[in-house]
Structure formats: C-alpha cells, structure tokens
Chain A
Amino acid sequence: MFAREASARRVGHLCLNDRMDTLPGRLPGRVEAVLNAALVAEFSVIGPDGLPITHPMIPLYDDGRIWLHSSILFSRKVEHVRRNPRVSVAVTDLGATHGEPLRDRVTVQGDATVHDGDVHEEWQRIMPLWVAKEPIVRPFYAKRVALPLFWERILIEIVPRRVLVWEGGRTDRPPEVLEMAETAP
C-alpha cells in the first residue's frame, strides 16, 4: 500500500525456523495466514494511567500493515492511540474463523497511526478486506440510514515492530519472536 522497505530479524528460540522467512515489508507467510483468517483479535492500547486496555476487533491485513477500524461511537480507544501509539494485536481465539481453526496464536506489537482526516469516506478503502471477512457488512452498509453514526469510521494503521508466534497455540511454551526493522522509503 505504501512504498517502504523493512527487514526482519529473528531473536526467538527458533530463529532458524524457515517458516518465519519473510519478504521485505511483509510479515512471515504463516503470520499473514493467521491475520487473514482471523475474524477476531484483541487490540491493546495504553490508557492514560499507563495500564493496557483491550478491545476485541476485526484484524485486517494488507501488504505488511495491520488495519483496524472503529466507529466514532466506540472511539475512546482511538483517543488512547493518539496519546500513545504503542499497541499490540493478538489473535488468540483459534476457532474464530469462517474456515478451519487456526493452528497458531500470534501477537503483533507495533506503532499505530490514526487516519481520521475524513471519517465519512477514508475508511472505505478497507471495505473490500472487511467484506471478505464479514460479508454481512455489505447489506448492513446499504441500510446505513438505520445507524448513521456507525458508518463514520476511523482507520488505525499498525506498522508491526515485533511478532510473537505461539506454535500450535501453546502459550506455555516460548514463542518464536521476529523483530521487524522499518526503513523509511
């Protein structure tokens, strides 16, 4: 989506595992697969008191970025992101997919950017990704007159900084850890 380069550096206990190989600017294929299939993720932000606050959200993934979106009705989390852009996205519910259950659990830490210059239209660029995960969104949007404020939305773009993969969903074992190093274009 945006021109950039990134490189990945493994620091976890299975750093020679070739399943974590990745292309520049992209997350490893198995992480992408989890993010593309997951219908729910826990999005954690840092609140004003320094404690994390977590919200279940739909994770969307495109070209190395995680995209979340929020209605202005539920926008307090966005205010937290604006105050502190350090966030994490965790996929923990292995059954929350439209297909096969997920095999691995994934947590992505990263830096978030809020896109709310135009809350009426800007979010619609992620509509195809959203509809792919939630087909009911299309007819729901067609009847947006019923809930107009729900369709005033804010985009949250997350640039991954560190990825943790719990193989087989086993969080009692150390995760594979992948550090992402961003280079400005």
Chain B
Amino acid sequence: MTAPTAEMLRRLPERFDHAVLVTVDADGYPLSAAADFEVDEGGSAVRLRPPAAIPVGPGAEANVIFSHIRPQPDMGYDERRYVNLWGPLAEEDGGWLVLRPRRSQTWDEKEVPFFQYSELGVPQAHRYLGALGARQGRRIRPRLSGGWLFLRATRLPFLSATAVPVFLGVAVAALHGSFHLGYALLTLVAASLVHLGLNVANDIFDTLSGADAANTTPTQFSGGSRVIHYGLLSTGQMVALSAAFYAAAVAIGLYLAVERGFWPLFWIGLAGVAISVAYTAPPLRLVYRGLGEIAVALGFGPIMVLGAYFVQAQRLSAEAWVASIPVAILIALVLYVNEVPDRPGDGAAGKRTLPVRLSPGAVVAGYAAAAAAAYAGVVAGVATGILPFPTLLAAATAPMALGVYRGLRASYEDPYALMPTMAKGVNLHLFTGLLLVAGYVAAIVADRVMATPPFFLR
C-alpha cells in the first residue's frame, strides 16, 4: 500500500476505460459496479458517475479499482495492470461522486513482470502455508515430483559445462594414442558429481547469505535453484545431497587415481573439489570477492581437461592445457553474463561479483575482450602448431559470441529480455567446445586412415 501520486491519478484515463466502485451494503457484503470516471487536473481526486443501486452514505469510505487485462487468443494476457484506490467519497454538484484517495495498491506488468511479481509473493506463500499447517497440525511444504525436484535442485541441464572439458581432455588424449572408454565415462561421472555438488552447495550458501531472498528477478539461467528459498527442500536435505555428490565424486576420483596414477590425479582432483567448495563456502567465498569467474574458468577449464587427459594418457600435456583455455574463458563468460540479472540481489547480499563491481559499459566491454581472447587462444594454438588445424572449426561460433555481446548490451537492464542472450551464452560454450572436440576427431580419423594427412587435417 502506498499513497497515490498525482501522476498516477492523472494517467488513469489513458490507461483504463472504466472504474469499478466498490462499497459495502447494508447486509455487510461488498457491492461493486462499473462507473465512468474522470480525474481532476491537479491529480488529487477521481470523479465517478455514480452507478445505480450502489449505496454511498455521506463520508463513506470506498474502494475503486481500475483494471486492464486484455486477453490474447490462446496466448494468455497482454498489458495486465490495475490500480486499487481507497478513500472517502463525497457527492458533488452535477451528480458526480468524488473520491479523494488516501491509499493505493497497483500492479503493471510492464513495470513489474509477472515472474517478478510472483517472486515478490514468496514471503506471503510461506506465511499462508505456515498458517495452514498450524490449522492442520502438520508441516506443509510446496510439492514438486521427484524428477522435477531433482532437476531443479541440481540444475542438471548445466552439466554441459562439465561434459565439454571432459570430452576435450579425452579427445586430446585420443589424438595422442590413449583412449579408454570405461575410464572416460568414469571421469565424466566424477566430474559431473563435483559439478552437481557445487550447484547444490552454491544454493545452500546463497540462501544462507540472503542472496536468494534479495533476488526478485531470477530466471531459468540465473538466481540459482531456489529450492530452499521456496521451501521445496530444507537446508539439511540440500546439505545431505551436496555431501552425497561430493562423496561419490571423491570415491570415483580415488579409484581413478589408484588405477591411473595416484599423486597427479589426487592433486588435480583435490584442486577441483577445493575450488568448487571455496566458490561459495566460507571462508574464501570466491564468488563473493569477484573471483567466481576465475574459479569457474580454472575448474571447468584446465583442471577438468587436464584431469580427463591424465586419466587417459597417464601424463600431463601442454596441448591439453592450451586446448582448455577457450572453454575455460567461455564457461567463465556464461557465469559472467548470468550474473548480470542477479546483480541487485547479489549486491544487497554482499556477493560482489564482477557485474556488481563494474559499470554496465565495463561489463559489456569485458565480455567482448574475453570472448575475443577465447578465439585468439584457438588461433594462436593452431598457429604455433600446438593445436591441430581442424580445431579452427571452433571459430565458426564467433557470430554467436557477437550475438551474446549485442544481446548483453541491448538487454542489460531487463532480466527477462536477457534470457535468450543467457541461453545463447550457454550454447556458445557448448558448441565451441564440441567443435574443438570435432576438430580433434577429424585429426584423429585423418591420422588413422591417412599415411600423411594434409596440413588442414593435422
């Protein structure tokens, strides 16, 4: 509830074609009817043509609502908005009723999109379920089916961030003559489990820090899973889930280490788990210090690529390290772009990510520079003979990067308009990484079937 402003009242005639006057009748029931209206020039009063049969006593307080909800065929609604006013009604010469509103409550989905409006209702939802549970003598939680809940809690679709570097490490090793499918699959599972553990841990700490509650514009790509914030799972359940993921990852990692070379894989695995935990967990809380992008680049770049490579080849490789650079930069950029819509909530919760720290212009320029560096890394790798020539295929996604840059610049201030750009950023990392892998596959095939492959296949 807020006090109505003169500007709000003056705009009523252009936004609504009729008012609805609501009073309370002698039986104690609300009684409402449509009324023509106009607003005085000063924007302090609404004049209503009194509907018949609506009782209005002297000095009566009334509610007047203006509502505009235009249905679209099969498409829901467009331009939903309403303004509720409350105040005393007085009769005026000429038969008009005059409302001098004291309180107002409004919604206009152009200003507060429906999804944000819904987020703002989460505290009310908890209050209602709390009161309902008290009446029923049991705790009532919102409900999602197990599959949906797992998908949401773990943010499973983001596993492409893990698949790409593992595939790349395996591909580099295969070109070098080492390929073991079983170990490759185990590596993928272990890395995915670390990723899922990280996702769940991230939600736990974002809820505890207040970042989830402060963020009223989450999207499919940003704002976390919110399963604790919504009450779908408890903090304890999420802690258990995260611990289970990490425990399973560590078990598989130890097995791989024992089988393929203990100390190198131990240190690589330890680095991966440590970075993923330190990402949001105290005391380091890297993402809160503007170091989240670097942590993600390291974890989903060199660490995963080199780890996957070592499991196959049982040694380290400069080529695998160079190959990891583009995917490391692009996955950091996925996070970087996805942090843009979260920055008001993140800032309020002390989560000082780069988009919180930097100006919009600097963030957009930073994207352009980093994306260019990713492609420069591929070109430089090929030019120096470290990467095989076919990995230049990865440059084919450059127009997508340009699209993300343009989308970021155009929709920086609108979280929902930014969603296609965030999706494009995820795909940019996926497709660039898969094209790098495809380049390696082309080089492997050429190496196997040709005695002397041409330069563009080496």
Could you list which residues of chain A lie within 8 angstroms of chain B, going by C-beta atoms? 39-40, 42, 44-46, 50-54, 56, 71-76, 78-79, 84, 86-88, 90, 92-93, 95-98, 105, 107, 109-110, 116-117, 119-120, 134-136, 140, 144-150, 152, 154, 161-162, 164, 166, 169, 171-175, 177
Closest Cβ–Cβ distance, residue A181 to chain B (whole Å):
14
Q: Is B258 engaged at the interface, CB distance under 8 Å to the other chain?
A: no
Query: Given the known A-B contacts A73-B122, A109-B29, A145-B151, are A173 and B63 also in contact in the complex, defined by CB atoms under 8 Å?
Result: no
Contacts of A46 in B (CB 8 A): 24, 28, 30
Closest Cβ–Cβ distance, residue B445 to chain A (whole Å):
41
Query: Given the known A-B contacts A51-B63, A56-B82, A144-B144, are A92 and B121 also in contact in the complex, defined by CB atoms under 8 Å?
Result: no
Query: Is A147's CB under 8 angstroms from B118's CB?
Result: yes
Q: Is B69 engaged at the interface, CB distance under 8 Å to the other chain?
A: yes
Contacts of B23 in A (CB 8 A): 52
User: What secondary structure prevails in chain B residues at the interface with A?
Assistant: mixed
State the CA gap A150–B114 with chains docked (Å). Answer: 11
User: What secondary structure prevails in chain A residues at the interface with B?
Assistant: mixed
Q: Which of B24, B71, B73, B76 contacts A52 (CB 8 A)?
A: B24
Q: Which residue of B lies closest to A169 (CB)?
A: B34
Contacts of B52 in A (CB 8 A): 166, 171-175
Contacts of A54 in B (CB 8 A): 20, 22, 30, 32, 63, 65, 84
Q: Is B18 engaged at the interface, CB distance under 8 Å to the other chain?
A: yes
Query: Is A149's CB under 8 angstroms from B122's CB?
Result: yes
Q: Is B39 engaged at the interface, CB distance under 8 Å to the other chain?
A: no
Query: Is A40's CB under 8 angstroms from B29's CB?
Result: no
Query: Is A171's CB under 8 angstroms from B34's CB?
Result: yes
Q: Is B31 engaged at the interface, CB distance under 8 Å to the other chain?
A: yes
Query: Is A72's CB under 8 angstroms from B22's CB?
Result: no
Contacts of B128 in A (CB 8 A): 72, 75, 78-79, 154
Known: A40-B67, A88-B29. 18 other contacts (CB 8 A): A39-B71, A40-B71, A42-B32, A56-B82, A71-B125, A73-B124, A88-B30, A90-B20, A90-B32, A93-B18, A93-B67, A148-B230, A149-B118, A152-B143, A162-B29, A164-B31, A172-B52, A175-B33
* Residue among B49, B52, B70, B75 with the highest chain A CB neighbour number at 10 A: B52
Query: Given the known A-B contacts A76-B124, A120-B143, are A150 and B118 also in contact in the complex, defined by CB atoms under 8 Å?
Result: yes
